[in-house]
A and B are shown apart, each in its own frame.
Chain A
Amino acid sequence: MSEIAELRLLAGFCLGAGDFGLEAHLVQEVVKPGEITPVHGAPPGVVGIRNLRGRIVTVIDLAVHLQLGVVNHGPRTRLMILDGQGDLTGLLVDSVTDTFDVDLATLEPPPGNLSAALRGKVKGVWRQGERLTAYLDVRTLFEDEVGGL
């Protein structure tokens, strides 16, 4: 056990009934979904594209991507903008909660009963009382897709 806690700042968000977290420094900004232009023929999970200050963002429904249903749009629906080497991706999530520090040492390994779509994409689970947050691994999140993130 290391004496200095190795902390990670996570940005927390909800998909359906589940709590998830991504490393906050990867999230460029969080915006409302805005007007999304559908792209017909796009791969599953890609909802469409939108304009973010003159740049094109590919919008992905993270719930569809992780086979957790569909993001039910409402007033709290948000897009988390990730910049993958100049290629902007917007992850559509049900809501964005807050940011919080996670001590990597207290991270529990992902449970064995993860669905196939989630397997390999969860780095660990962080427990806060009753609440469980799945720490998503951005490196593997889009691995099964051409190009990745």
Chain B
Amino acid sequence: MDDNDELLDVFLQECQEHLTTIEADLLEIEASGAQGSEEVVNKVFRAAHSIKGGSGFFGLTQVKEVAHRVETVLDLMRAGKLISDSAIIGLLLQAFDELAAMLHRPKGQADADIEALLLGLDQLANGTREPTAPNPEEPVMLSPEGGFGSVAVTRADLERAKRTSLTLFRVILDLVHDVDRLGRTVVDVFSAVSQDGELLDCEVDYFACGTLDDEIGRELPVTLVLATALSVDGLKGLFPGAEPVLHRLLEAQPATAATVPVAPTAAPVAVTPVAVAPDAAPAPSKAQAREEEGGDTLRVNVRLLETLMNLAGELVLSRNQLKAAVDRGDDDLLESVNQRVNQVTGEFQDVIMQTRLQPVGVVFSKFPRLVRDLSRTLGKEVRLEIEGKDVALDRTMIEGLSDPLTHMVRNAVDHGLEMPDERARQGKPATGLIRIEARHEAGLVVLEISDDGKGLDPERIAQSAIKKGLADRAKVALMSDAEKQALIFLPGLSTADKVSDISGRGVGMDVVKTNLSRLGGQVDIDSVVGRGSTFRIKLPLTLAIIPSLILSVENERFAVPQANIEELLRLRAEDVKTRIEVVGGTEVLLLRDKVLPVARLADLLGVLPTYHDPSTGLQEIDRRKLGFDQRSPGRRTLGHEPPAVAPRSAADRRQAEGSALDIAILSTGSLSYALVVGSFHDTEEVVVKPLGRRLHHLREYSGATILGDGTVALILDSAGLAVKAGLTPVSGSKRAAELAAASESRRLEETQSLLVFQNGPHETCAMPLDLIQRIERVKPEQVESLGSNLTLHYRGRLLPLVSLSRAAQLDSLDGVEDLAVLVSQVGGRDVGLLCSLPVDSVETSVVIDRATLRRKGITGSTILRDKTTLIVDLFELVDGMYPDWSSSVLVKAAPTAGVVPDKPVLLLAEDSEFFRAQVKKYLEHGGCEVLAAPDGQKAWELLEQNVDRVRLVVTDIEMPLLDGLGLAARIRANPKTAKLPIIAVTSLAGEEDAARGYAAGISEYQVKLDRDRLLASVLARLDGRAQEVVA
């Protein structure tokens, strides 16, 4: 049959599905020990059974052999004749590995060497047999009732049918008339019969179909041997429309206990595990290869497919409308079609993405086995906890994650956890814990692999790096512990003194890191010597479409993935000199307490500066707008000739310093740096396209994307750019340390980032930059008035707008052309604040006058750049305009309607008035009652007075009188308060600071000032969901 290959694929895919769950099931059987879990044994039995059934049909004889024996062993187990132990489970695991490997390469399955395995399984099965008992594999000939010929059934199958009161049938179906012509497939038949019975054997009479020269339409009989509880009529009902020939082989035996030959004395059989060297059994990698190859097909939920069909219909409609609009030159229609297309493509994208998402559990599922096998080999005791299996990721990522995660789990078992006696000496439980967790966090997927083992010893890593010549002694001396630990990502460094065959397979953490960064991921380490290590991987949800910032330099546009951007800033011309210094020949940027190396994108890539041509009066040459054809000859050779102009002279640079600089702070995971660009444009969800093979080697680009206007922009790779620029963390140099100290003292004044915007020409307003997710330019006609509310058509949705003129009685924006919308989230909903341009950000330490200009929606005023600026309170504004948006997260979550639970009471210690007011507002908005104090001393007094009410403490670190660490220590020292969770909210987020904080009793760090995270964390801790980090 032509579609036999296709059928085989379906069968193989089904087998794959069986096989993925089997490992976990077998491990569960092992864990439940002698009492056994009958249901699970049955499940595995059925899986082996259906593999056996199908493989017979497809002529996969070796597969059938193995599956059959596995089935026999499992049957003995469920009959209680064989008590499972780890040796048996080990052998079964091996058998299923072999099955997976053979099914992966069905064409080569006949070459698989399974002799030893079959022998092992046979021994296992035969060991339980009483010496006189007949061989269960021995065929027994049965004659069909009223039929011709005879049918061979193994004794085991026969016994089982007798024992379970099943009737044996021979069913002869014609594949042509009874199956194919009825629009069915063999797989349908298999699944029909396995619902109500067991398929014991299946054979196709290929000779009956004749040769190619015979006319088509003859028959192709297939003989099935079934064990079922169904009657003849019931059986016929399984094949509607078909005319199967049925013969009874064995009448069902009445079920009597006596017929079940239970042998309670049968001792568990000692099994000689089949000797296979660990290296010679690359089954997991084969299975994995199958996974990758199996990636050619994907199962998609029918509902999703239907949604896609509908959307495709919508698109066609929209295209027709578009054509009509263009033909008629109807601008109104064009605008509405535009919105429609926007909406449909947006939905299309979402649904397509859903079809690509797969649960990360696909990767996790192999770890129980891996950990089991490893811990056995190493003589360690390990408990594995897995959480968040359902977190979904793009399937390309799932595939790419397999190797790095496996390596990290291996490392955790091999190097992370100590031997049981060593653990006992340290007062730890003998069984080590390995935890794998996946969760969503701020639009990213976070994977954590943690162990409670010995942790990464920074000194040993540093020494090893120096010894291997990978790091400079002087530099290492200045490194923090976290930086030393991060050295394990250097190529060629392995922390184990000797390379074991478990972790040391020629790949190191550098490969892990590279692989992860290829997936757009970053990995950090959080490790305390003696306490354990946590590797935290942050991944974008998908590789195919990534939110990116479009920026340009000299009119060339580039995209930078948002995930790599820590922040964007603009240095005003007068700040450039004080904020950018030259240290050891390289430029560095002073940013709060950090000193970051600076790279200039134009110099790095060799982008030629555009010029002003006085003779023509042309301001700039914008090659994007001029077509290729009109370009001057000199400019066309950009790509392949050394720039005609030497890299910018010092004079040019000085000139550049005369104007403001737009800077993106990029992160590569281990390094942050400042990238000076020309200017920022908007953010877009870009579709990543690979570069051709000629450009593949360019590490500074991770791909290309097609922008809205059809032109191509390169996607910058932050890690590749850093390498190209030769950047290293500058924390090592002495001057850098001085600079850091200087900026530290400045930072103590605590600054905040504000976004300054206009409400019409006369009113300048500001709000905390952290609250704003995006800034969108809008045209006045895009804003619609619905009753008293304003909305904006935005990415296919209606975005509710807040206007300061309506909510806070400021100037009206009617007639203002340069409008923008600041998109934020309040109470989990998107909301936009309508304002006018220009929009700018400033970093300042403001003193807010809370009296003079205070009104609803306006916290107060301050003077910024000599202008009176109103500080907007977004929450109050939204409350005013959309009072029905229940603002309190906690109240909303309350289980009983109508009953408002007592608000949890929090203590907030924060010296900056601005931050105190902000954080208090956030927390109150989240449904908490907040007691606020301006320093640690006052906070402690407040806590003593309210010791019975306060359930959680949120504190700043740097405070007068008593700082956050002191406060934490005091709280921990007092038995009445020792158990209170303490969240530190701070701009000091260095790893060292964090370590000091944890030592003092801080439960968790939150970087100033991420409202949603803080709130989520507070709520989680109030729920008791999060575990105490500090024991």
Chain A positions within 8 Å of B, measured between CB atoms, are 32-51, 54-58, 60-61, 64, 70, 72-75, 77, 87-89, 145-147
Contacts and interface: CB of A to CB of B under 8 A. Distances in A.
B639 A70 contact: no
Interface in B77-109: none
Contacts of A34: 627-628
Interface in B601-615: 605-607
A49 B695 contact: yes
Given A37-B712, A40-B607, A77-B629, A47 B640 contact: yes
A37 B633 contact: no
Contact of A147 (B693, B701, B711): B693
Given A33-B629, A51-B712, A146-B697, 11 more contacts: A35-B627, A37-B712, A37-B713, A39-B691, A40-B639, A46-B694, A49-B712, A70-B637, A77-B628, A87-B692, A87-B693
A40 B704 contact: no
Contacts of B690: 56
A50 B624 CA distance: 12
Contact of B694 (A42, A50, A64, A70): A42
A37 B556 contact: yes
9 contacts: A37-B712, A42-B694, A46-B639, A47-B636, A50-B712, A56-B704, A70-B633, A70-B636, A145-B694
A125 B556 CA distance: 42
Contacts of B691: 39, 49, 56, 58
Nearest to B696: A147
B694 A35 contact: no
Contacts of A147: 693-694, 696
A36 B628 contact: yes
A73 B629 contact: yes
A149 B714 CA distance: 22
B414 interface: no
B762 to A, nearest CB: 42
Contacts of A56: 689-692, 704, 706, 712
**Residue with the highest number of chain A CB atoms closer than 10 Å, among B631, B633, B693:** B693
B639 A73 contact: no
Interface in B710-767: 710-714, 724
Contact of B714 (A32, A39, A61, A64): A39
Contact of A48 (B624, B639, B698, B710): B639
B876 interface: no
B958 interface: no
A49 B691 CA distance: 9
A35 B624 contact: yes
A89 B692 contact: yes
Contacts of A88: 692
Contact of B640 (A50, A61, A87): A61
A68 B535 CA distance: 55
Nearest to B697: A146
B693 A64 contact: no
Given A61-B640, A87-B692, A41 B711 contact: no
A73 to B, nearest CB: 6
Nearest to A57: B692
A72 B628 CA distance: 11
B700 interface: yes
Contacts of B637: 70
A41 B629 contact: no
A47 B629 CA distance: 14
Contacts of B692: 49, 56-58, 87-89
Nearest to B713: A37
B110 interface: no
Contacts of A49: 691-692, 695, 704, 712, 714
Question: A-B pairs with the 5 shortest C-beta distances?
Answer: A58-B692, A40-B605, A147-B693, A37-B712, A38-B638
B69 to A, nearest CB: 44
A42 B712 contact: no
Contacts of B704: 37, 49, 56
A41 B700 contact: yes
A54 B690 CA distance: 12
B348 to A, nearest CB: 14
Nearest to A59: B639
Given A37-B711, A40-B639, A47-B636, A54 B706 contact: yes
Interface in B340-374: none
Nearest to A87: B692
Contacts of A60: 694
A72 B633 CA distance: 7
A41 B710 contact: no
Contacts of B639: 38-40, 42, 46-48
B631 A73 contact: yes
Nearest to B631: A73
A39 to B, nearest CB: 6
A65 B515 CA distance: 34
A37 B629 contact: no
B712 A75 contact: no
Contacts of A38: 556, 638-639
A55 to B, nearest CB: 7
A31 B724 CA distance: 35
A33 B692 CA distance: 17
Contacts of B693: 87, 146-147
**Residue with the highest number of chain B CB atoms closer than 10 Å, among A32, A51, A87:** A51
Nearest to B712: A37
Interface string B523-561: 000000000000000000000000000000000100000
Contacts of B607: 40
Contacts of B696: 147
**Residue with the highest number of chain A CB atoms closer than 10 Å, among B556, B638, B711, B712:** B712
A89 B712 CA distance: 15
B695 A58 contact: yes
Nearest to B699: A41
A32 B629 CA distance: 9
**Residue with the highest number of chain B CB atoms closer than 10 Å, among A39, A43, A44:** A39
Nearest to B635: A38
**Residue with the highest number of chain B CB atoms closer than 10 Å, among A35, A70, A77:** A35
Nearest to A70: B637
**Residue with the highest number of chain A CB atoms closer than 10 Å, among B607, B637, B692, B695:** B692
**Residue with the highest number of chain B CB atoms closer than 10 Å, among A48, A55, A64, A70:** A48
A2 to B, nearest CB: 35
B609 to A, nearest CB: 13
Contacts of A45: 640
Contact of B605 (A41, A77, A87): A41
Contacts of A42: 639-640, 694-695, 698
A51 B687 CA distance: 13
A64 B636 CA distance: 12
Contacts of A43: 640, 694
Nearest to A71: B636
Given A40-B605, A51-B706, A75 B711 contact: no
B701 A39 contact: yes
B347 to A, nearest CB: 19
Contacts of B627: 34-35
Given A35-B711, A147-B694, A40 B606 contact: yes
Contacts of A37: 556, 704, 711-714
**Residue with the highest number of chain A CB atoms closer than 10 Å, among B631, B637, B695:** B695
A70 B639 CA distance: 12
B629 A46 contact: no
Interface string B619-648: 000001001110101001111100000000
Contacts of A48: 638-639
A43 B696 CA distance: 11
B506 to A, nearest CB: 25
A68 to B, nearest CB: 14
Contacts of A41: 605-606, 698, 700, 724
Contacts of B695: 39, 42, 46, 49, 58
Interface in B364-393: none
A43 B640 CA distance: 7
Nearest to B643: A40
